Amino acid sequence: AELRKASKRLSCHKRYKIQKKIREHHRKVRKEAKKRGHKKPKKDPGIPSAAPFKEELLREAEQRKQRLEELKQKQKLNRQKEHEKKRKLEAKKNAATIKEKAEGEESFGKSKGKSKKLLNKNSKKSFCRELTKVLEASDVVLEVLDARDPMGCRCPQLEQAVTCSGGNKKLILVLNKIDLVPKDNVEKWLKYLKKEFPTVAFKSATMMKDKTMEQVTKRHARVDFSETSQYFGSKCLLKLLQEYGKTQDKAIQVGVVGFPNVGKSSIINSLKGKRACNVGLARGVTKLMQTVHLDKQTKMLDSPGIIADPSNSALALALRSIIDLGGSDSGDVLEGVNAIINHCSKQQVMMHYNIPDFKNPEEFLSLLAQKRGMLKKGGVPDIENIAKLVLCDWTGARIKYYSQPPGFQKPPHYLTEQKIAEMQEGFNLNNLEQENSNTVQALKHPSPASSIAFQSAGMTNGTIEENKAIEEESEWEDMETRKEEEESTESDDDDDDLEEDDDDDIRGVNEAPRFALVSLTHDFLFSGNEDRSRSLSFSSDKPADEDDAYDFNTDYV
């Protein structure tokens, strides 16, 4: 049924009211016009009939009118032509953009993998180049270690490059994030590391106040920077560097190096007392060498993270390599989470995440996804995204875990007693030890019960030289291409086998009914009426070769 239009009928009271308002309005307008003295324009009386040459004047007036109309028509046509031209141009542009988009999507689909490889290759090359610049330019190198896994943050290639450079370079270990580790564990690690290199205990500020931060605090009063902007150990480190600078009688350059997310840029910000370098939770925020002047005698050089060698264990690659969680393969992330969970105390992980007992890391991820409400359609746990979230927690400063130093101290092969003495020369180690103890005492540390015991995988190999990075990339590319070729050949062989099997099946199916039809027609035509029903029922089971041949010499009538 069609809907009726709304009725326009009004009540009499409403209609009369509207009419009254209209009359009042007209009256008001007339009054205002009378006050202004505005009169209606008089009509053109035209040419009087007694005027001489009246016909000529009228003809001229008509011609003038015609000319004006022609001009108007021409202008109208010109406008229409311009509009048509504009429309055509726009249509062409739209068609070109649609073509480009379609071509771009096709080419993007084909060259997506290649472009990713090239980008990774270029980034690795540039990272190695910038790191070598920092190492060559610096007089003192600060190797930043995460206090939760100091041994896993040490790079033997870097330490060997600095100690064997022969240019009187010094290497200092900075044990950062000591507020995430129990107090006894920090003291053990300081005792262990100071036997090889001068070691400074440090707690950097993760978020420094600057102009933008001040604006945020004015707008949102709830933002609190009390914990994130606190830093400890900066005075000790500054004093150590300034004393060494005085012994050298020149301005020194201090390079800050280490694996991604250990807090290199945060340490520079803490020493400067304000935000001088960009920091973030994502790995690989710093991509180029940055210089920050602390004072006239000290210049800090920030560097990108060391690239972890692909030959490292899955645990080392998960915690130390530069992984883009947005575009990385889910397989790598899941493998990294599996390695982390397998190297931790199961009971402490259950207590921390508040989840029941689990048999394997996959079950752990599904339970955690259900607890946090990270589900796909149909209530299926979103394991890929929860794995990325867990990996972010472990590489960031959210989870408090600790690892024990090795029971027996054996220095690496490149660290002889002479090298250790050279590295410690020029520093007041007694004063440094006292300052470290003061820093550790001043901080609030978590208890061992509230943190997770972690089993370290040992030192992590890194790629420092640019040529090695390129070779590794090419090797990985060759391996990937080989895998792809093998998979494609296997799939082709499988397809061929399947096609042959299908052809045989089709032939068999087609041949069977053909024999049955031949036997049926033969029996129906040449057998007696009595045996016709019997032959029809059993002829499908008989092959054609077993039937008697037709004899043309005998008369069957």
Residues 532-553 pLDDT 10s: 434 434 344 444 444 445 555 5
Within this chain, domains 120-209+226-310+402-446 and 314-395 share the same CATH topology? no
pLDDT, tens only, 428-466: 888 888 888 888 888 888 888 888 888 888 888 888 776
CA separation for the pair 331, 310 (Å, rounded) = 15
Residues 6+ apart with CB under 8 A from 144: 153, 174, 176, 256, 257, 258, 262, 263, 264, 267
The mean pLDDT value for 300-307 works out to: 88
Would you state the pLDDT for residue 518? 38
Instruction: Find out if CATH 1.10.1580 is the number for domain 314-395.
Output: yes
Residues 6+ apart with CB under 8 A from 409: 192, 195
CA separation for the pair 204, 263 (Å, rounded) = 7
Residue with tokens 């875990």: 401
Would you state the pLDDT for residue 507? 46
**340 close to 294: Cβ distance less than 8 angstroms:** no
- Residue 471, phi-psi category: left (phi > 0), alpha (psi -120 to 50), beta (remainder): alpha
Would you state the pLDDT for residue 297? 85
Instruction: Name the average pLDDT for the chain.
Output: 77
Would you state the pLDDT for residue 515? 41
**Tokens standing for residue 138:** 């610096």
Would you state the pLDDT for residue 219? 43
The mean pLDDT value for 35-43 works out to: 74
Name the CA radius of gyration of the chain, rounded.
Answer: 44
pLDDT, tens only, 313-337: 888 888 887 665 555 566 778 888 8
pLDDT, tens only, 153-171: 999 999 888 888 877 888 9
CA separation for the pair 381, 367 (Å, rounded) = 8
DSSP codes joined into one string, 232-287: BSHHHHHHHHHHHHHHHTS-EEEEEE-STTS-HHHHHHHHHTS--S---SSTT---
- Give the residue with greater pLDDT, 35 vs 532: 35
Please state, for a pLDDT cut of 90, what percent of the chain lies above it.
18
Superfamily of domain 120-209+226-310+402-446: P-loop containing nucleotide triphosphate hydrolases (3.40.50.300)
The mean pLDDT value for 400-411 works out to: 86
Backbone angles phi, psi at 209, to 5 degrees: -80, 135
Highest mean pLDDT range out of 21-25, 181-185, 246-250, 433-437? 21-25
CB atoms within 10 A of CB 222: 5
Residue ranges of domains in the chain? 120-209+226-310+402-446, 314-395
Q: Is the pLDDT of residue 475 over 50?
A: yes
**Tokens standing for residue 502:** 């299908």
Residue 173, Cβ density class (10 Å: 0-12 exposed, 13-18 middle, ≥19 buried): buried
Burial letters 460-476, b for 16+ CB under 10 A, else e = bbbbbebebbeebbeee
Q: Within 13 Å and on the Cβ side, how many CA atoms surround 378?
A: 1
What is the pLDDT confidence band of residue 80, given thresholds at 50, 70 and 90? very high
What is the pLDDT confidence band of residue 409, given thresholds at 50, 70 and 90? confident
Residues 6+ apart with CB under 8 A from 271: 234, 237, 238, 294, 300
Distances, alpha carbon 364 to alpha carbons 24, 294, 314, 376, in Å: 81, 47, 18, 17
**Closest of 407, 462, 494, 401 to residue 191, by C-alpha:** 407
- Give the residue with greater pLDDT, 17 vs 510: 17
Would you state the pLDDT for residue 392? 85
Would you state the pLDDT for residue 494? 52
**Closest of 555, 485, 546 to residue 526, by C-alpha:** 555
Q: Is the pLDDT of residue 135 over 60?
A: yes
Between CA 341 and CA 345, with CA 343 as vertex, the angle to 5 degrees is: 80
What is the helix (H) or strand (E) element at residue 25, kind and residue range? helix 12-36
